[in-house]
Amino acid sequence: MTQPVRRPRTGASHAVESIPGEARERASVHLLPETVAMRFRDLADWWHADTDASSLDRDSFEHPAYRRIVEELGKDAVPYILADLRDHDGHWFEALRQLTGNHSVDAGCKGNMRQARARWLRWGAEQKLI
């Protein structure tokens, strides 16, 4: 796989390779959208293949592909996460809460995945992310 193209914001100067996941976001270095899309799809496909047979989301959240999406792609992944939720029913709710900081979208769903999904997709449309 080719290395993702990275571009710093104007005036920034950082050694990207040395910055761990969360700090990389603070360093204001962003991947190109097409790179995020490609990277997300590869990771999401891997994640689905390895975890769709599991009956515990806890196990899915610990998968390395899931961790990379959250920690490396970060907030840039949110539109793609929402699209995967819409098209593949991925259990992305924990990631969405973490990445958006919004804990009210699915509050009170009480295990109703369909309701949680509908609420996040509605939120995503309102935010013009999907």
Give CA 40 to chain center in angstroms: 8
Confirm or reject binding of residue 54 to another protein (CB under 8 A): yes
Q: Is 84 in the site for another protein (CB under 8 A)?
A: no
Decide: 71 and 26 in contact? Cβ < 8 Å: no
What is the nearest approach in angstroms of another protein to the Cβ of residue 26? 27
List of residues 6+ apart from 13 with CB closer than 8 A: none
With contacts defined by CB under 8 A, name the span among 22-30, 63-71, 110-118, 122-130 that binds another protein: 110-118
Q: Would you count residue 42 as binding another protein (CB under 8 A)?
A: no
98 binds another protein (CB under 8 A): no
DSSP symbol at 12:
-
Q: Are strands 29-31 and 6-8 parallel, antiparallel or unpaired?
A: antiparallel
How many chain residues are in contact with another protein, going by CB under 8 A? 25
Tell me which residues touch another protein (CB under 8 A): 49-58, 89-91, 93-94, 106-114, 116
